[in-house]
A and B are shown apart, each in its own frame.
Chain A
Amino acid sequence: MPTQAITDNRAFLVEKVIKNYSGIFDASTTERVAVIRRDKISRPVIYLGTGTSGSISGAKATLGKINSYLSEARFSADIIEVGCTGFCSAEPLLDIQLPGKTRLSFRNVTEDKVEDILNSVFHHTLPDDHILGQYKQDGLEEWPNIPMLEQISWFSLQRRHILKNAGIISPASIEDYIVRGGYKSLYKTVLNYPADKICEIIEQSELRGRGGGGYPTGKKWKVALDTAGDQKFMICNADESDPGAFMDRAVIESDPHRVIEGIAIAAYAIGASQAIIYVRTDYENSLKILEQAIGQAKDYGMIGEDIFGSGFNLSVSIRQGAGAFVCGEETALLSSLEGQRGLPRSKPPFPAEKGLWEHPTVINNVETLANVPGILENGPGWFKAVGTKYSKGTKLFSIAGKSVYTGFIEVPMGLTFSTIISQIAGGVKDGRALKAVQLGGPSGVCIPPADLETPLDYEALSDKGVNLGLGGLIILDDKTCMVNLARYFIEFLQNESCGKCIPCREGTSKMLDILEGITKRPKEESTHETLERFKGVVQLENLASVIRDTSLCGLGRNAPNPVLSSLKWFREEFEEHIFDRKCSAGVCHDLRSFYIDVDLCNGCNICQKKCPENAIVGSLKMPHFIIESKCTGCAICFDACKFSAIFFK
């Protein structure tokens, strides 16, 4: 049974906050809202980012340490577990707010740092290290000489609409969301607008699907709304399957109610009474948070029967994907939901006309839906004010790989790659040179440094034949072998191909064969095989064009991208691998050639004994040599040498 306080809060939040149309509160409401927002606190509040990236970085241990510190020091403070602000490389992120003062943020607070930081902050001093910045909060006393968070480079270029609450509020609390304006858009929607009007507003905002295709969302909704059907479905695609992209997970983990509100509005707009959230099964944390959030939303009457007395019913359920990359493709996702193998279907007919069990179905990804409440709250004009001519609004990007900072960001459409890399991500780690930026997941492309001034929006990229995809950016430094990376992506794709159509199933597997031939050195190679290897690039290009032309779904059509883009911009690396049998980056192990530094070798003979190819000669206590023509680059000698006398080039 809910306690009195909870039911009180519920009634208060629904009646006085959500249904308050003007947004102007009387004094007592303002006071109560401030308390719920934790602007007004009576004892210190500690916020800890315990989302997936926080947990991986050790936030759970930090949490344990905080608890034990508080009980030992007999200090009373509230601990709020929050999601992630996006600054993942700074995780675990710990914020502390003292009564009357602004919220302070600390980075990389592993368990050993907890005591120092809490000690000093509770005594109103500041530790020397780990300070990230402070939040801007009106009416609270600022800490001296501490930068505002929005001033630091990671945040300064961001426009945080979707991420407004991320890392700030507790994802486990619907109250936190409501006192920040949440569910007001839904209230407005179901009470004031007919469904087609909502489609129109979204169309006016020029919101485009953030799942990769970039199809206008309002238009898609309109098609589903206009298609006759007694049953319609709204599906939220949270099967973010691109390795290297994790924004959707972060949005769910940090601000789940924003997604649920988006889903509810979308369902209303297309006339659906059933919504399904399709979540990746690996994302256990997201799953837990979503389940909890759906329960709360039901409890508050935000979803369920007769929402806000409007007669609009909506049931929201969660379905776990069972682990198949192809199910990110919308028709494959539908097959999976129907209990089948996740095979894509031919389009047309599009799901908006004939989707789940042939009913009109709209499938939007998490980011698209998270944009919806903001658009209804502030109007399409507000949304359109940001971005470029054909790409409006903000876009989430995840930054991973070899940059100094990693995480996820929300920036206006149209920033250039170089701005994001140098100004937000802090450039390349360890002072190395940038080789390329990989965009759009495994079937994405590698952008060379020469093209980094390209703005990140739909049309500038499509001019270059590139798909924005989900928005995963991976920074590659000069130690990356582009051939090997292309091989990795093709290996991934051939493994994840559904196997239905010939070009994708057989084509990607043949491309992989060719790329493996290029990156590996067999023990013996017949003349025929050498010739095959020499034909490699031509065959790759031929296969790529056919796969692109004939594949059934988007996964197949885009599968050749990593090879084609690498071939286009890094062709000399392929040639080096094929003709010189050399990998400058030293990544393709089989192509390394080893040599022994005669000055370091003391002739212990271990390498000679271990060499499976008898490629090492030398007598005991005398420097040994490697016969290059016999060496297959297996590196056993390299691992075996106790004197680090073996090197490779």
Chain B
Amino acid sequence: MLLTIEINGQQVSSKRGETILTVLNRIGVKVPTLCHLSNLSPTGACRMCVVEVEGLSHLVPACSHQVEEWMRIHTHSPRVLKARKTLVELLLANHPDDCLYCDRNGTCELQELSEELQVRERKYMSRNKPVQIDKACPSIQRDPAKCVLCMRCSRVCREIVGVSAIDAVGRGSHTRIGTSYNRGLNFNACVRCGQCIMVCPTGALTEKKSIQQVIEALSNPDLYPVVQFSPTVPAAIAEEFGLKSSKDILNLLRAALKKMGFRQSFDASMAADINIMEEAALFLDRLQKNTKLPLLTSCCPAWVRYIEVFRPEFATYLSPVKSPQQIMGTLIKQYITSSAGVKPGKVFVVSVTPCTAGKSEAESNGSETRLVDAVITIRELIRMIRLLGIDISNLDPEPADSAFSISSSSGRLFGISGGHLEGLIRSINFMSSGQELSPLKINDLRGLKPKKEAKVRINKQSVNVVAVSGLANAIGFIDEIANGRENIHIVEVMACLNGCINGGGQRTGTDEKCLKSRMKALYDIDEEEMVKVAHKNPVVNELFEKFLSGPNSQRNQEILHKTPLKTSAI
């Protein structure tokens, strides 16, 4: 039902049940928000979006208040502006004055609000108690002093991730975002996905930095620094530096990495191809024996951590194959060293990923030596590019290093939920029937839906596969399986909603538009790339021939399978 309301003197038609904010967004009136998250239900907590409605004694929040026929709304009246300004002043009263030293300097929403509302003095004195920064966790660092209690992180952690590792603790002015018994994030339900960082408006939640360590390695003449990057890195770098999609972004990135001092750079998509090959063989083996099905993919370290800590009963269903990051690390250390004539201990492998859980994964891989020496997020890479003065748009593209230079578009698809599965099925089909899947594209597994199911025929057998993203959705789905849902063969899980394109280490300010363009970039590669399947990747085949042995063999298990971790439930 349509109804007419008046906004700032202008007649606007709107639908019953819409919130004021929806209408304002539609007609191009911007009101500031802080606690609002577009994909979660509004809580009306921050009051930043308050507007004046004639006839009401108090201001109402635009994000949760629904429109009604008689409403005459003023979005920027003096009363509203004063209220908003005071709210920001109140937040600033408790906020440390260290913007220049803050991780989010320039990208901070509180800074933006304060500028927008022209806060020019510290109006209220604070009596801050010093709070301890929680930095024990290898992936995520919390600085409670900078927290404005918008509760976005706790809502994401509860509703999207489903683990509630951080939540509001205490009451009134003593409310804090905290962990149970105030133990650090490290001793907690946290799966390290980093989604909380993505929604934090301030510098209260950041990744644990490895920049310094990488820079030191780069300038250490004794070391041989090499870098691997995940499939979604090129697109994110292009976004950040405004590179046109017509450019050869992949090779520009390689050029930039070389300029930074990395001796070689590797596309981790190649390792994804190996992951596919190994996993495909493993699946066919399980299918034939009809055991340990459904196969749960293990390329997402946050998901693996969740299973190991909370649902050990499902651990046997997990694919034992290492994640692409770890496979790449293994290969670089064990194979390249011999060819480049560097001692294994001198190789320093840096991984660039959109993943904060990758940092934890690299730290605790179950073996004595590290396979990956440092993991940096895309945000950190961007910082390093700027720090080292690299003008990426004026570089000449640099072709791939000789080794491991080719990766199939299947490996690239790992960057999006459903992509791993798509590539996997292509190879499973080939391995089992000797023929290519036709068509190669599996439409049911594409797009930004959190749960995608597909039924494919592989060698006359019907195989049911499901790709779930958002850990909470995955938890719901394995509960379904635990409660008796049958006839599912493979479940691909990405802890971050939509997969790595929305990973916890992605660019600050990732929104739906970014997600769509990153998704398109990956699907476009799949259209254009010559090698579309892992089993046709010559490098992979060569590796399997010379260095590894046949898929799922004893030797491969030693190199490509991980040693299970012993983590206790918390």
Contact = CB atoms under 8 A, between A and B. Distances in A.
Direct contact of A and B (CB under 8 A): yes
Interface of A: 324, 341, 345-346, 348, 494-503, 505-510, 513, 529, 532, 539, 542-543, 546, 548-552, 557
Given A346-B61, A499-B170, A506-B91, A543 B45 contact: no
- Closest 7 pairs between A and B when the two form their complex, measured CB to CB: A499-B175, A509-B173, A506-B90, A497-B172, A546-B86, A346-B44, A550-B47
5 contacts: A499-B172, A500-B151, A501-B46, A505-B149, A546-B82
Residue from A529, A548, A550 whose CB has the most chain B CB atoms within 10 Å: A550
Nearest to B87: A502
A506 B45 contact: no
B16 interface: no
Given A497-B171, A498-B172, A346 B65 contact: yes
B296 to A, nearest CB: 31
Interface residues on B, range: 35 or more
Contacts of A500: 43, 45, 151
A509 B172 CA distance: 9
B66 interface: yes
A500 B82 CA distance: 21
A502 B93 contact: no
Contacts of B46: 501-502
B31 interface: no
Given A501-B44, A513-B125, 20 more contacts: A324-B171, A346-B61, A346-B64, A348-B65, A495-B174, A498-B175, A499-B171, A499-B174, A499-B175, A501-B45, A502-B46, A502-B48, A503-B83, A503-B87, A503-B90, A506-B94, A529-B125, A546-B82, A546-B86, A546-B87
A532 B91 CA distance: 18
Interface of B: 42-48, 50, 58-59, 61, 64-66, 79, 82-83, 86-87, 90-91, 93-94, 123-125, 127, 148-149, 151, 168, 170-175
A497 B173 contact: yes
A510 B58 contact: no
Contact of B168 (A341, A497, A546, A548): A341
Contacts of B151: 500
Contacts of B170: 499
Contact of A539 (B91, B94, B123, B171): B123
Majority SS at the chain A contact face: helix
Contacts, number: 107
Given A543-B86, A549-B59, A502 B124 contact: no
B172 A348 contact: no
Nearest to A546: B86
Given A502-B46, A550-B47, A557-B58, A495 B82 contact: no
A419 B275 CA distance: 86
B171 A494 contact: no
B125 A501 contact: no
A133 B91 CA distance: 60
Contacts of A552: 44-45, 47, 61
Contacts of B79: 549
A345 B94 CA distance: 25
B528 to A, nearest CB: 49
Given A503-B90, A551-B47, A552-B44, A513 B59 contact: no
A517 B482 CA distance: 60
Given A508-B173, A546-B82, A499 B50 contact: no
Contact of A495 (B59, B83, B86, B172): B172
Contacts of A510: 90, 93, 124
Nearest to B68: A348
Contacts of A494: 172-173
A341 B172 CA distance: 12
A550 B57 CA distance: 10
User: Which of B59, B93, B172 has the most CB atoms of chain A within a 10 A radius of its CB?
Assistant: B172
B134 to A, nearest CB: 20
A548 B174 CA distance: 21
A570 B50 CA distance: 32
A485 to B, nearest CB: 20
Given A543-B86, A546-B82, A546-B86, A498 B93 contact: no
Contacts of B61: 346, 552
A529 B171 CA distance: 29
Contacts of A549: 50, 58-59, 79, 83
